[in-house]
């Protein structure tokens, strides 16, 4: 019955996924299914060839994994082809790892001096779209997988241009890499490669093994990137986890549109995972955080982000995360937003200046990121470290000036005179501002 399929279009669309083609041929066992598959193939083929903007572009990413730019010269990090990467010496190989992004499949992850890539078990060629140059990785995370009875963790590696989508970007974003590991040790025979013997000493668990391997490769690639984890002492949800009730959750459940997901409030930014499109909002890209639709049980959080769209350093875009549990409002607002001073948009200029100073230091004298990170001066510090210290000192000086200029009586005088009891009542009202917000939310 599959003979009625439009094989030409089918093979063209799924040329990098023969397994999908084979599955469609096997499932096309009736005239109605053949017609359905042909209609789907025709529709997707038209979208790919007519260059429809935005929504069709998202559909195109779902259909053909080869359309991802990972491992291609367009990601700005490498011009190596899959064939060239396959010739690199495999230093470490982790077998049967569950990958969820860019594709949901069990793969063997291979570490080379220049790349991290995935390949199908029993094969030697990298899977198209799952080739990541170490030099392209800007952020790395190790986070617990929510809502699982058994403890599992996700590694998230974010190459350049994978943090958050932009509706005005014409090209498809690069996919990040997300894969899951259990809380157990690797099984015998599941770790191979030239450095397998050295890895044996750190193979008490998958976490220690991958931390060692990733940090080594990032350092060898001269990347100033460290694996960031969630710290429950700095932020945790107060909502009880039904799956692991004795463990503090470090995530907050919410929605982006109709898609559910989880927010992680981390030391260097806010991560939204773990479904496509995964999003990361670095602290120095955040202009301000605000709240909307504050109801009795839920509220929405809006993050205004600097996008640098079209070279405009003041260009911003808002991302809204909906249906967050009201119980987590105080934790988010006080433990994270206020601590990082994200609620005050006037402070965004300082964060933006810090980011620009660091970026300028990276590219000073046209040396690029490597020299910006690694050029050590007479004081034993890199240019990047000196830039960060300079900005931190500037922020401290600004805070000291604010404290010196503060007049405790100025506010009361400007609002008119009154008795001391009235002044005390005003102070109490000011101190309970956050509680009043929550009470207002409860009334709604």
Query: Each residue of 358-376: pLDDT tens digit?
Result: 566 555 544 444 444 444 4
Whole-structure pTM value? 0.65
pLDDT at 71 over 90: no
* Mean local confidence (pLDDT), 370-385: 51
CA-to-CA separations, 334 to 110, 234, 236, 238, in angstroms, rounded: 42, 11, 12, 13
Distance separating alpha carbons of residues 12 and 2, to the nearest angstrom: 17
Highest mean pLDDT among 69-73, 127-131, 243-247, 414-418: 127-131
Tokens of 353: 């200046």
Which 3 state secondary structure label does DSSP give 324?
strand
Higher pLDDT residue, 398 or 127?
A: 127
pLDDT at 140 over 50: yes
Q: Which of 126, 59, 49, 54 is nearest to 87 (CA)?
A: 126
pLDDT at 444 over 90: no
β partners of residue 270: 265, 281
Highest mean pLDDT among 29-38, 63-72, 397-406: 29-38
pLDDT of residue 425: 46
β partners of residue 269: 266, 282
Distance separating alpha carbons of residues 338 and 346, to the nearest angstrom: 13
CA-to-CA separations, 351 to 27, 161, 288, in angstroms, rounded: 55, 20, 10
* Mean local confidence (pLDDT), 52-59: 40
Picking from 98-102, 149-153, 367-371, which range would have the lowest pLDDT averaged per residue? 367-371
Stretch (H or E) spanning 291: strand 286-292
Distance separating alpha carbons of residues 303 and 279, to the nearest angstrom: 12
Q: How far apart are the first and last CA of the chain?
A: 59
pLDDT of residue 419: 43
Residue 91 has what DSSP assignment?
S
pLDDT at 409 over 60: no
CB 230 within 8 Å of CB 248 = no
User: Cα angle vertex 40, ends 69, 120, to 5°?
Assistant: 45
User: What's the longest Cα–Cα distance across the chain?
Assistant: 91
| Average pLDDT over the chain, rounded to an integer | 78
183 CB contacts (<8 Å, ≥6 apart)? Answer: 150, 151, 152, 153, 205, 206, 207
With cut-offs at 50, 70 and 90, classify the pLDDT of residue 101.
Answer: very high
Secondary structure (DSSP) of 394-409: HHHHHHHHHHHH--TT
CB 280 within 8 Å of CB 163 = yes
* Mean local confidence (pLDDT), 264-268: 97
Half-sphere exposure of 266 (CA within 13 A, CB side): 24
Higher pLDDT residue, 80 or 322?
A: 322
Picking from 11-15, 212-216, 292-296, 389-393, which range would have the lowest pLDDT averaged per residue? 389-393
Distance separating alpha carbons of residues 224 and 160, to the nearest angstrom: 14
Distance separating alpha carbons of residues 205 and 211, to the nearest angstrom: 10
With cut-offs at 50, 70 and 90, classify the pLDDT of residue 383.
Answer: low
* Mean local confidence (pLDDT), 299-309: 89
Highest mean pLDDT among 59-73, 341-355, 356-370, 421-435: 341-355
Helices (H) and strands (E) in the chain, counts: 14, 16
Q: Read off the pLDDT of residues 155-185 as tens digits, 9 standing for 90 and up.
A: 999 998 778 766 555 444 678 999 999 999 9
Report CA Rg, the chain.
Answer: 26
CB 174 within 8 Å of CB 70 = yes
User: Cα angle vertex 59, ends 55, 60, to 5°?
Assistant: 115
pLDDT at 123 over 90: yes
The two beta strands, 286-292 and 191-192, are unpaired
């Amino acid at each position: 019955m599959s003979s009625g399929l439009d094989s030409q279009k089918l093979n063209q669309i799924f040329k990098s996924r023969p397994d999908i083609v084979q599955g469609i041929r096997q499932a096309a066992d009736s005239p109605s299914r053949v017609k359905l598959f042909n209609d789907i193939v025709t529709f997707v083929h038209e979208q790919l060839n007519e260059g429809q903007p935005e929504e069709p572009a998202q559909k195109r990413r779902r259909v053909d994994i080869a359309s991802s730019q990972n491992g291609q010269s367009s990601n700005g990090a490498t011009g190596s082809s899959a064939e060239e990467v396959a010739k690199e010496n495999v230093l470490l190989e982790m077998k049967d790892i569950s990958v969820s992004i860019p594709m949901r499949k069990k793969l063997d992850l291979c570490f080379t001096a220049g790349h991290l890539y995935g390949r199908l078990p029993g094969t030697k060629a990298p899977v198209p779209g799952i080739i990541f140059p170490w030099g392209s990785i800007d952020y790395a995370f190790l986070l617990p997988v929510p809502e699982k009875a058994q403890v599992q963790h996700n590694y998230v590696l974010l190459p350049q241009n994978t943090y958050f989508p932009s509706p005005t970007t014409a090209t498809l974003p690069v996919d990040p890499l997300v894969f899951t590991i259990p809380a157990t040790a690797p099984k015998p025979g599941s770790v191979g490669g030239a450095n397998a013997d050295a890895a044996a000493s750190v193979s008490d668990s998958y976490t220690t093994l991958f931390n060692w391997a990733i940090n080594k490769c990032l350092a060898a690639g001269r990347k100033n990137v460290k694996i960031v984890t969630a710290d429950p002492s700095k932020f945790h949800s107060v909502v009880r986890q039904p799956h692991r009730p004795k463990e503090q959750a470090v995530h907050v459940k919410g929605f982006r549109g109709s898609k559910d997901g989880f927010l992680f409030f981390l030391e260097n930014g806010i991560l939204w995972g773990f479904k496509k499109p995964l999003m990361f909002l670095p602290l120095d890209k955040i202009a301000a955080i605000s709240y909307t639709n504050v109801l009795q049980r839920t509220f929405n959080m809006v993050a205004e982000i600097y996008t640098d769209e079209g070279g405009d350093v003041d260009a911003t875009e808002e991302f809204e995360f909906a249906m967050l549990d009201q119980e987590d409002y105080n934790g988010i607002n006080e433990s994270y937003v206020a601590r990082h001073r994200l609620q005050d948009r006037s402070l965004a200029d300082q964060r933006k200046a810090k980011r620009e100073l660091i970026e300028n230091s990276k590219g000073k004298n046209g040396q690029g990121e490597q020299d910006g990170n690694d050029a050590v001066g007479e004081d034993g510090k890199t240019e990047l470290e000196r830039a960060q210290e300079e900005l931190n000192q500037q922020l401290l000086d600004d805070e000291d000036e604010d404290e010196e200029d503060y007049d405790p009586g100025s506010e009361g005088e400007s609002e008119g005179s009154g008795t001391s009891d009235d002044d005390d009542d005003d102070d109490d009202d000011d101190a309970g501002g956050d509680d009043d917000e929550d009470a207002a939310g409860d009334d709604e």
